[in-house]
Amino acid sequence: MDYDNKIILHLPVQSLNGKILVIIGGTSGIGLSAASAFIARGAKVVAVGREDENVEKAQRLLGNAALVFAGEATNSGTAPRAIAEARQHLGGFHGLYHVAGGSGRKMGDGPLHEMTDAGLEATMRLNFYSLVYSNRAAVKAFMEQGSGGSILNMGSVLGFSPSPKHFATHAYAAAKAAIVGFTKSIAAYYAPYNIRINVIAPALTETPMSQRAANDAKILTYIRTKQPLDGGRIGAPQDLEEAAAYFMSDGSRFVTGQVLAIDGGWMISEGQHNFLT
């Protein structure tokens, strides 16, 4: 093809005009921030969240471009319902962003020698099983449509870059590592169907889940050198918006099976602390 003699026009990479997107875990924190960003870029959104109060607040915030309802990500019927709502009420389905997950610390996750059976099961169900359920529903829908589409999964740097002093929740790390392997495996399988599946992996980010760390002075001191970008701080949900919009957009049409760490420098920084204190 002779590119020199052609004028090639592109929409902005992050344009989501005409996209209808489903966000599992979209009524608070990173998911709600993404929903708002997607709408601002021209998309319509179905956002699913756990708490009725958050659902009502999210619907008010997102307005008429969104359909918000309560549902448990760990229920295998939640994602199929969300996709059906997108098709029926918004007119289609083009992408899934799975954000739902969280720490299992209060459920019995922790260092391996302290982890309970119940903590292992609950943490894996919340962070990995729920994602498998939503990805399965999305792949089935895309194949039925014959349209291709985009799936973006929420990982964590803890899945491949441990921090043993302050973040020793080993079932959570295992679940986030599993997300990477699972995503790459299904991305390879479904690439011929033009279904692309990717992961973003944040470091410590300000969300309802991260309040323990966000309010711990020792952890905040550690984060200043572990996440040294922009003055050394905890990430904000808005730090992930542009990347999420990119993966949901046609700008990522040639990208699949990738893991993007949005980590403020976490993986290339030591982080300073005294293991004995």
Give tens-digit pLDDT for 73-86.
999 999 999 999 99
The reported pLDDT for the residue numbered 273 is 60
For residues 19-44, average pLDDT: 97
| Strands 20-24 and 95-98, bridge-based pairing | parallel
Supply the CATH classification number for the domain 12-267: 3.40.50.720
First to last CA, the chain: 64
For residues 226-243, average pLDDT: 96
* Residue 90, pLDDT above cutoff 60: yes
Sheet holding 66-70, edge to edge: 66-70, 44-49, 20-24, 95-98, 149-154, 195-202, 259-262
* Residue 276, pLDDT above cutoff 50: no
Inter-residue contact 147 to 197 (CB < 8 Å): no
* Residue 209, pLDDT above cutoff 90: no
Residue 198 to residue 257: CA distance in whole angstroms: 5
CA distances from 186 to 1, 53, 190, 196, 252 (A): 32, 35, 6, 9, 17
Residue 149 to residue 256: CA distance in whole angstroms: 11
